[in-house]
A and B are shown apart, each in its own frame.
Chain A
Amino acid sequence: MAPVTMLEAIRQAIFEEMDRDPAVISIGEDIGGYGGAFKVTEGLLARFGPERVIETPISETAIIGAACGMSYLGLRPIAEMQFIDFIACCFNQVTNFVAKGHYLWGAPAPMVIRGPSGGGVHGGPFHSANPEMYFVHTPGLKIIYPSTPYDAKGLLKSAIRDNNPVLFFEHKFLYRRIKEELPEDDYTVPIGKAVTRREGRDLTILTYAAMAHTCIEAAAALEKEGVDAEVIDLRTLLPLDKEAILASVKKTNKLLIVHEDTRTGGIAGEIASLVCEGAFEDLDGPIQRVTSLDTPVPYAPSLEEHFLPNVAKVVDAARELARY
């Protein structure tokens, strides 16, 4: 099979799951004949019809609420946020209604909320956000943020089959920039499992989403300087793969965390705490982080490039850390 983009991999996952199980439906804005703002759902309406591809008014709270109601009758809705930034409009519905139902009154909500996220495409402050941490802080949700077509397809399938509400972040910078050959047969990737992208001895770089590619590039540059970095792609942020994180830190004794999300309250802080609790005596240096600035995502390319982490920033931080 020819290699496919991340966008195509996500599209395949939706098609294949809707083919496999008539309880799976899609709901969102412009996802029908138009095929969605990024064309992830192109052809979906033609194949499955308007009963299963439900186009809605611009009402994010209604989209999430209706999806949740459908899930209570045993459907498995996939709700699209046209841009994941707009999930702020239905924050209450997601965090108070959808997320708490199982804990409080035993109501599972098997639904997926997916949408394009992330910067680097000059989308400006309202089309570039990484709002994952608002939701990582919400018990009851699962949060997935893949970096490759293979993972995106396999994890989205797992998300659709999961009995819990899952937020699925699709980094739009990666949509059409990377390609990968995918297995022809049905496969899934387990939720909550990190993957080692590059083995190394000198330090661990923990990352996810588009930054996984930045970090692999940085690791190649570091190799030329004689620093052997291990790169781990978290893939799932909630639940975190604590075992994989601690095992790698115990092996390399140094930890650098890289994320595109803003710094304060980003997942780096949580991971640093986990490592202090579980592997403090294995550390040979301070836990470091490379993140975006604590600002909104600015629009001008010169500003956004300054805002985002990049290979040079990761290499600099890793080089410093390696000296300990």
Chain B
Amino acid sequence: MSPSYPAAKTKTSAAPALTRDTHLGLYYYMRLNRAVEDQMVKLFRQNKIVGGLYSSLGQEGISVGTAYALEKRDWMAPMIRNIGALLVKGVRPRDIFTQHMAKFTSPTLGKDGTSHFGDLKNLHIVSPISMLGDLIPVMTGVAMAGRYLGQNIVTMTWIGDGGSSTGAFHEGLNLAAAQRASLVLILENNQWAYSTPVSKQVPLRDLAERGRAYGITSVSVDGNDVVAVYRTAKSAVDQCRAGDGPVLIEAKTHRMRGHAQHDPAEYVPKEMREYWEARDPITRYEKFLTENKIWNAADKKEIEARIEKVLNEDREFAENSPMPPPELAEQGVYCDGCHTIEADWQRPKSEVTPPKTTFDTTLQVKDFGGIDQGFNVPTETVTGQTEPPPIKKSAKPAQASGNGASAPASSKSSAAKSKSAKAPVRKGRR
């Protein structure tokens, strides 16, 4: 099995232009991500975590590298294995601990667990739900509203290889594409949807193909190379901010633990686990930082000390926090004036207030959608035949020939190609 997995690449990491601060920042958050989760495994074994515990071991480079490309004003909606992204955006480890321990001091006051919390006002985080894919249309809407209000924001959300087969994924990505929404979608291909391998879910080698079907920029990157991830995400965020979104990034990685703590993941072949263990994103990054003389032993020690300090304080805080009072269960179903809802307008309202918006509703039809406009139709599929032609294994699908009249999608994808070529992106092998 192992020969078919992508080879680890250190070349992209060698590309210049990241500052020392950025490097040390990325490293700090990856280590913090792992340390927070290691701490939670201990709490879980002490029976202090109320529900399930989901590990992102080995995927820290993706959460951290992608979120690091966002600005403070930008919005994110993490999934269950994106604790690293939350930390980068400003969530404190104590919030993660109290959430998992169902404490009254948690962001949801104990009403939900894991990374299911958000912050609309300050950190701009939208909470996930357990049903996969729903965040994609939601973050498309956030991006659309941001554009409407003149905020120039980018939104980012994550999905797994498993979640990329949901209807919400496809409806959401298509709407984002149709709206050219400033959405960066990170598709974390960790090879497993619970116990089901990718090969049983999708007949594609590169899940980035899914984005290309929607006519958007869609690239694959080595998810265990944090520098490659960060640079790809940064380029995607810049592209979206320039109004040329959405962008899909497939980050190839491996889930190093079971679906959750209860799952020993015995279905993962030994060779596959070993292959990915040898490509641990933190070990690789340490090696890179040392080889390129970006840091020294003192930097590492300082980072480790910082992490230990914050972790001890926050674990203590969480353990000493009370459980929510039972009557809290009755409260907060509706907003009865507890929130003041006010949009942050960054453009004059007069631009969208009648009569200035008066719009010609005559339909503008760009082409006739015909079959005689340059499509390379294989002769076997000419209409009028009673039997469908046999499917040839090597047959290529019909493609737009570049006739301008028929192909906004094809011109977009070529633009996308030239853009993605700039990014240090590992193109998927077919």
- Which residues does A use to contact B, with CB under 8 Å? 19, 22-23, 25, 32-33, 45-52, 54, 56-57, 59-77, 92-93, 96-97, 100-108, 110, 139-140, 142, 163-164
B284 located at the interface, meaning its Cβ lies under 8 Å from any Cβ of chain A in the complex: no
Q: Which residues of A contact B142 (CB under 8 A)?
A: 69-70, 72-73
* Cβ-defined contact, B107 with A105, below 8 A: yes
Q: Which residues of B contact A68 (CB under 8 A)?
A: 138, 141
Q: A65-B134, A103-B333, A140-B334 are in contact. Are A108 and B339 (CB under 8 A)?
A: yes
- The 8 Å CB contact of A52, one of B136, B336, B352, B362, is B352
* Cβ-defined contact, B339 with A25, below 8 A: no
Bound form: Cα–Cα A257–B264 in Å: 55
Q: Which residues of A contact B336 (CB under 8 A)?
A: 163
Shortest B414–chain A CB gap in Å is: 23
Which of B36-44, B114-122, B376-384 faces chain A?
A: B114-122
Q: What total of chain B residues lie within 8 Å of the partner, measured CB to CB?
A: 60
* Cβ-defined contact, B146 with A73, below 8 A: yes
Q: Which residues of B contact A54 (CB under 8 A)?
A: 144, 179
Q: A57-B175, A105-B117, A107-B120 are in contact. Are A74 and B341 (CB under 8 A)?
A: yes
Bound form: Cα–Cα A202–B363 in Å: 59
Bound form: Cα–Cα A128–B275 in Å: 57
Chain B residue nearest to A52 in the complex (CB): B352
- The 8 Å CB contact of B134, one of A73, A96, A106, is A96
In chain B, residues 105-158, which have Cβ atoms closer than 8 Å to a Cβ of chain A? Answer: 107-108, 111-112, 116-118, 120, 126-127, 129-131, 134-146, 148-149, 151
Q: Which residues of A contact B363 (CB under 8 A)?
A: 33
A-B contact pairs, 20 of them (CB 8 A): A22-B353, A45-B359, A46-B361, A47-B354, A51-B148, A51-B352, A52-B352, A62-B172, A65-B171, A72-B138, A72-B141, A76-B341, A97-B129, A101-B127, A104-B108, A105-B116, A105-B118, A108-B339, A163-B339, A164-B335
Bound form: Cα–Cα A65–B136 in Å: 8
Chain B residue nearest to A45 in the complex (CB): B361
- The 8 Å CB contact of A61, one of B116, B134, B139, B335, is B134
Q: Known pairs A75-B343, A76-B341, A104-B112. 6 more at Cβ < 8 A? A: A47-B357, A62-B171, A66-B138, A75-B145, A102-B333, A163-B336
Q: Which residues of A contact B175 (CB under 8 A)?
A: 56-57, 59, 62-63, 66
Shortest A90–chain B CB gap in Å is: 9
**Please, what's the 1-or-0 string for B19-58, where 1 marks a CB less than 8 Å from any CB in chain A?**
0000000000000000000000000000000000000000
Chain B residue nearest to A46 in the complex (CB): B361
B358 located at the interface, meaning its Cβ lies under 8 Å from any Cβ of chain A in the complex: yes
Q: Which residues of B contact A52 (CB under 8 A)?
A: 148, 352, 357
Q: Which residues of A contact B339 (CB under 8 A)?
A: 106, 108, 163
* Cβ-defined contact, B134 with A72, below 8 A: no
Q: A49-B357, A62-B140 are in contact. Are A74 and B344 (CB under 8 A)?
A: yes
The 6 closest A-B pairs by CB, nearest first: A69-B141, A65-B137, A74-B343, A66-B141, A49-B357, A59-B171
Shortest B306–chain A CB gap in Å is: 29
Q: Which residues of A contact B344 (CB under 8 A)?
A: 73-74
Bound form: Cα–Cα A73–B332 in Å: 20
- The 8 Å CB contact of A102, one of B107, B172, B335, B358, is B335
B293 located at the interface, meaning its Cβ lies under 8 Å from any Cβ of chain A in the complex: no
* Cβ-defined contact, A93 with B168, below 8 A: yes
* Cβ-defined contact, B127 with A73, below 8 A: no
Shortest B265–chain A CB gap in Å is: 27
Q: Which residues of A contact B146 (CB under 8 A)?
A: 73
- The 8 Å CB contact of A74, one of B126, B171, B172, B342, is B342
Shortest A75–chain B CB gap in Å is: 5
B6 located at the interface, meaning its Cβ lies under 8 Å from any Cβ of chain A in the complex: no
Bound form: Cα–Cα A61–B171 in Å: 7
Q: Which residues of B contact A103 (CB under 8 A)?
A: 111, 332-333
* Cβ-defined contact, B332 with A106, below 8 A: yes
Shortest A103–chain B CB gap in Å is: 5
B337 located at the interface, meaning its Cβ lies under 8 Å from any Cβ of chain A in the complex: yes
Q: Which residues of B contact A71 (CB under 8 A)?
A: 141
* Cβ-defined contact, A64 with B137, below 8 A: yes
Q: Which residues of A contact B137 (CB under 8 A)?
A: 59, 61-66, 69, 93
Chain A residue nearest to B155 in the complex (CB): A69
* Cβ-defined contact, B138 with A22, below 8 A: no
The main secondary structure of chain B at its interface with chain A is loop
Shortest B419–chain A CB gap in Å is: 24
B182 located at the interface, meaning its Cβ lies under 8 Å from any Cβ of chain A in the complex: no
* Cβ-defined contact, A50 with B134, below 8 A: no
Bound form: Cα–Cα A71–B118 in Å: 15
B178 located at the interface, meaning its Cβ lies under 8 Å from any Cβ of chain A in the complex: yes
Shortest A190–chain B CB gap in Å is: 13
Q: A62-B174, A106-B332 are in contact. Are A70 and B134 (CB under 8 A)?
A: no
B269 located at the interface, meaning its Cβ lies under 8 Å from any Cβ of chain A in the complex: no
Q: Which residues of B contact A63 (CB under 8 A)?
A: 137, 175
Bound form: Cα–Cα A23–B349 in Å: 9
Bound form: Cα–Cα A297–B342 in Å: 42
B167 located at the interface, meaning its Cβ lies under 8 Å from any Cβ of chain A in the complex: yes
Chain B residue nearest to A68 in the complex (CB): B138
Bound form: Cα–Cα A56–B144 in Å: 12
Q: Which residues of A contact B337 (CB under 8 A)?
A: 163
Bound form: Cα–Cα A67–B355 in Å: 24
* Cβ-defined contact, B172 with A50, below 8 A: no
Bound form: Cα–Cα A301–B333 in Å: 42
Shortest A298–chain B CB gap in Å is: 29
Q: Which residues of B contact A65 (CB under 8 A)?
A: 134-138, 140-141, 168, 171-172
Q: Which residues of A contact B129 (CB under 8 A)?
A: 96-97, 100
Chain B residue nearest to A19 in the complex (CB): B354
Q: Which residues of A contact B138 (CB under 8 A)?
A: 65-66, 68-69, 72, 97
Bound form: Cα–Cα A224–B118 in Å: 61
* Cβ-defined contact, A107 with B332, below 8 A: no
Bound form: Cα–Cα A139–B329 in Å: 12
Shortest B415–chain A CB gap in Å is: 22
* Cβ-defined contact, A66 with B144, below 8 A: yes
* Cβ-defined contact, B341 with A108, below 8 A: yes
**Please, what's the 1-or-0 string for B156-170, where 1 marks a CB less than 8 Å from any CB in chain A?**
000000000001100
Shortest A191–chain B CB gap in Å is: 11
Bound form: Cα–Cα A50–B144 in Å: 12
- The 8 Å CB contact of A72, one of B111, B126, B352, B353, is B126
* Cβ-defined contact, B332 with A59, below 8 A: no
Bound form: Cα–Cα A45–B143 in Å: 21
* Cβ-defined contact, B141 with A57, below 8 A: no
Q: Which residues of A contact B145 (CB under 8 A)?
A: 69-70, 72-75
Bound form: Cα–Cα A71–B168 in Å: 19
Bound form: Cα–Cα A32–B363 in Å: 10
Chain A residue nearest to B345 in the complex (CB): A22
Q: Which residues of B contact A33 (CB under 8 A)?
A: 361-363
Q: Which residues of B contact A142 (CB under 8 A)?
A: 334
